[in-house]
Structure formats: C-alpha cells, structure tokens
A = this chain, B = another copy of it.
Amino acid sequence: MDLDAVRTFVAVVDAGRFQEAAAHLTITQQAVSKRVAGLEKELAVRLFDRTARGARLTIDGQAFLPHARELLRAEERAAASVRPGSRALRVDVIGRRLAPAELLRAFHRAHPDAELDVVTLFDADAAIAAVRSGAIDASFRALTRQPPADLEATRVYDEPLQLVTGPAHELAAARTVRPGLLAGHRIWMPGLVAGTEWAAYYDDLAAEFGLTIEATGPDFGTEPLLDTIADSATLATFVGELTRLVWPAHQDLRRIPVRDPTPVYPHSLFWRGDNPHPTLTALRAHLRSQRAGEGTWAPRWAS
C-alpha cells in the first residue's frame, strides 16, 4: 500500500473534490485520480462516488477513512521516533521482561499520553555512554561504580531474587530458601555475558554465598531454559520477583523467594542533569528513590 496514495485519499476526503486536493498536494488532478484509482484497485473496492460536484465517500470509503488517518499518524510517530529534538523519551532497560520494563509500564499506565521508546543496550557502560552523548535520555541499570559527574542517578528499585525450580528439585516444596543453603546446588543462567554489570552482580552473589552459577552453553532464550529446569532435579535458576515468566501448566515450576538475607538486584535510573525532556521529569517524579532495606544483600558497589 502506497502511503502517498493514502495521503491523497485523505486529502480528497477533506477537500471534497479531486481538483482541490490536487492543488493542496501541488500535483495535477490527473495524478490524484491515478493515485486514488490505484488505491481502489489494490483494495478492490470503490472508495468514492464521483459526481459532477465532486467526490463523496462510499460506505467502504467511510470504513477505510479512520484507518487511513491512523496509518498516517503511525507514519508520523515512526518518523518522529528518530527525529532529533522533540522526540519521545528514549529509555534503556536491561530486558523487556524484567523489572525496569515493568516500572516503565506502570509509569505509562499513570501517564498514558507520555510517549516512550524503549531500547536495550549491551551493558551499563554502553548505556552511560549513550546517555552522555544524548542518544538516549535515561537508563535503568545497576551501577557498579559512581556515574560520571555530568550524570545524575537514583536507586529506584531493589528487586528481591527468587529461585525457579522444577517439581523434582530438592527444594521444590520449600516456602522460602536461605542463600547459604544453595551452596551445593547448581544454578544455571545461560544468558550471562561476561563483562556486563549483571554478570558482575551474579559473580559477587556467587562469591558471597559460595554458590555455583553456571553460564555455560548457548542462550536459546527463556522458554528452553524453563524446559530444562522443569525436567531437572538438580538445576535451578534465579529470576527477579517482577520478571515475567509464563510456562505450560504441566511443567509445574515453582518460584521460591530467597530470604535471610534477601539478595536484591539494585536497579538505578540515571540521566543527564541538563536534559529538559518533560517526560523525564514526570518519570523521575513517578519513581521514588529507595535505600537498601533491612535484611537484604546487595554487592558492595551498590551501596
């Protein structure tokens, strides 16, 4: 479908006549006629009743019109998403199913008019560079060190970890589990990429509590991981409490909170202090900064 033809269709509707639409588009009436005819041919319906006093929409044309306008609006939004200046707030999240994306969804529910573009960069360092350059407006990341002086940051959410096991696992029936108890167990996290801040987090977690975290093997995504976990009596994995997980009922997986202490993943938000984007202001107001809670554990770099 040719968007120029759709634009022409809408112009004819608004003008009421092909000639006037042609004048607005600064093309000839014949070109308008051709474009509309081409659109009608592609859709295999007549969109206008041509009369000696102009053009009136057919029933099909009336039904098509709102979709045509929406199509043009979508085109405009798409173009605006990459237009420097006056674009939607662009935010980096560590993953689309993880807690920061959830926080963004909650923000969007509270501010339905706020335009957001969500991206995922390689790691916190890439996010810092992107925020500094202005390529993105803000980033949800855990910060393993102080951010550069030209950036502002706030701790927004300490996310408690949960253990995911299959029904045959030794801990499957536990209501909660202490991290020290996991020392002998195999924790499988195939997604970990060395050098990222989240790999650093799980390194520190493993070192603190003597865990065995395996990142071996290729990462085929969440579903194959859950498949394997569900069938294993020895493998388990970690997820954050807000992580979106869905699994078939027959897999009978369990999410077991970890307690005493509760390992938490320290999500921060950071942004450039000189960024005037109003949606950024609203987002910061929406997120309460938080301090470490009692009975929780986080890496030393998070304090």
Contact = CB atoms under 8 A, between A and B. Distances in A.
Contacts of A2: 3
A183 interface: no
Given A3-B2, A67-B74, A71-B75, A136 B81 contact: no
In this complex, the member of A60, A68, A78 whose beta carbon has the largest number of chain B beta carbons within 10 angstroms is: A78
A75 B71 CA distance: 6
Given A66-B117, A71-B71, A1 B59 contact: no
**Identical chains in the assembly:** 2
Nearest to A6: B78
Given A43-B82, A71-B71, A71-B74, A63 B3 contact: no
A8 to B, nearest CB: 14
A45 interface: yes
Interface string A104-121: 000000000000011111
Nearest to A130: B59
A210 B124 CA distance: 78
A285 interface: no
A67 B59 contact: no
A59 B81 CA distance: 11
Contact of A71 (B45, B78, B88, B120): B78
A62 interface: yes
Contacts of A59: 90, 119, 121, 130, 135-136
Nearest to A90: B63
Contacts of A60: 82, 135
Interface string A68-88: 101100110111011100001
Interface string A137-170: 0000000000000000000000000000000000
Contacts of A117: 62-63, 66-67
Given A3-B1, A63-B90, A119-B59, A43 B135 contact: no
Nearest to A87: B63
A70 B71 CA distance: 9
B82 A77 contact: no
Contacts of A62: 117, 119-120
A202 interface: no
A131 to B, nearest CB: 11
Interface in A88-104: 88, 90
A238 interface: no
The 5 closest A-B pairs by CB, nearest first: A67-B78, A62-B119, A63-B117, A74-B74, A71-B74
Given A1-B75, A3-B3, A70-B74, 9 more contacts: A43-B79, A43-B82, A60-B135, A62-B119, A67-B78, A67-B117, A70-B77, A70-B78, A71-B78
